[in-house]
Structure 1
Amino acid sequence: MAWLHARPKPDARSRRGKEEPAGAVLSRLEDLKRKKIDPVMPPNPAPHIIGHLIEMGLTEAAGMGSVPLSWREIAAWQENTCVQLEPWEARLIRNLSKAYLAEGHRAESENCPPPWRAPVTQRELDIEEAQLRALLG
């Protein structure tokens, strides 16, 4: 989800990164919606955990940006919703919040591939190479 929510930017060291103003860039998800493309998502073996994470808010606001969900926030959510998480579920939610933040920072690069894409096969490489040869001669 973090990859989809990220607003990709060109490398600051590139000419485009130096010349283009830092304007309102669409997130990958907003861009896909604008193009009327449904994003491909990885399988979700624990939808209830992801649902709890989204309900809690994925991350917390802090003085200089976002931080992972705190234990206090997770405990407050449990108390307010009367949902008692197992200890492993609470740890997993906190780790998922950390991973969301890390992926969000990594995904700010416009060249960042989605984290759930399967590795490129030799067949896919051969097809791409054949298409390039046909195009370039």
Structure 2
Amino acid sequence: MAWLNATPKPPAGSRRAKAEATHSISRRDRLKRDRIPPPMPPNPAPHIIDRLIEIGLTEAAGMGAGPLSWATIVAWQQATGIRLPPWEARLIRRLSVDYLAESRRAENETCPPPWRGTVSQAEIDSEAQRLRDLLG
């Protein structure tokens, strides 16, 4: 999810970085615009991801986002009446840490997705058109 939600940026100091407007869009929005379904890895435990999203993928911390705190996880448990087993609470915290790390890594425009999926014909056509537009 972090890779899809990231807004890729050109390398700092490059001509494209200087010329690039602040109207960049996330990978998810670009795929949606191009009518390509976002590729997603298999999810053998959707209830854990649902809980992570409900609690929040990250939280505000200092000068930006930080991983979920233990206090936030405990507060969610108290508010919802759901008692997470310790392993699940640790997993949710770890997923939040990993989401934050991946979201920062994924800002590099050449960052590959953290999973390997099949490339659809729509994606190939979209990239081919983008190249034709760029190269003429």
TM-score (normalizing by structure 2): 0.82
Once the 2 structures are TM-superposed, how far is the Cα of residue 19 of structure 1 from its aligned partner? 3.2
Amino acid at match of 2:82: V
Report how far residue 92 of structure 1 moved: 0.3
Counterpart in the other structure of 1:57: 56
Q: 2:107 aligns to what?
A: 108
User: Which whole-Å CA distance do the structure 2 matches of 1:74 and 1:20 have between them?
Assistant: 39
Distance 1:16 1:25 in 2: 12
Shift of 1:29: 0.4
Question: CA RMSD of the aligned region, Å?
Answer: 1.4
**What is aligned with 2:33?**
34
Q: Which of the pair has more CA radius of gyration?
A: 1
Seq. identity, %: 66
Q: Secondary structure at the match of 2:92?
A: helix
**AA at the equivalent of 1:8:** P
CA distance in 2, matches of 1:107, 1:19: 21
Q: Which amino acid aligns with 1:12?
A: A
Matched, 1:13 2:41: no
Q: What residue is the counterpart of 1:81 in the other structure?
A: 80
TM-score normalised over the length of structure 1: 0.82
Letter in 1 for 2:34: K
Separation (CA, whole Å) in 1 of partners of 2:29 and 2:113? 15
Q: What's the offset of the Cα at 1:86?
A: 0.4
Q: Give secondary structure in 1 for the equivalent of 2:53.
A: helix
Bigger drift between 7-16 and 102-111 goes to 7-16
* C-alpha displacement of 1:13: 3.5
Q: How far apart are 1:57 and its partner, in Å?
A: 0.9
- CA shift digits 1:60-86 (9 cap, x unpaired): 012200000000000000010111100
Count of aligned positions: 118
List 4+ stretches of structure 1 deviating above 6 A. none
Residue equivalent to 2:122: none
| Partners of 1:52 and 1:70 in 2: CA distance | 15
Q: What amino acid does structure 1 have at the position aligned with 2:32? A: K
How much does 1:34 deviate? 0.9
Residue 15 of structure 1 aligns with an amino acid whose one-letter code is: R
The alignment status of 1:71 with 2:70, answered yes or no, reads yes
Letter in 2 for 1:25: S
The code of the aligned residue for 1:9 comes to: K
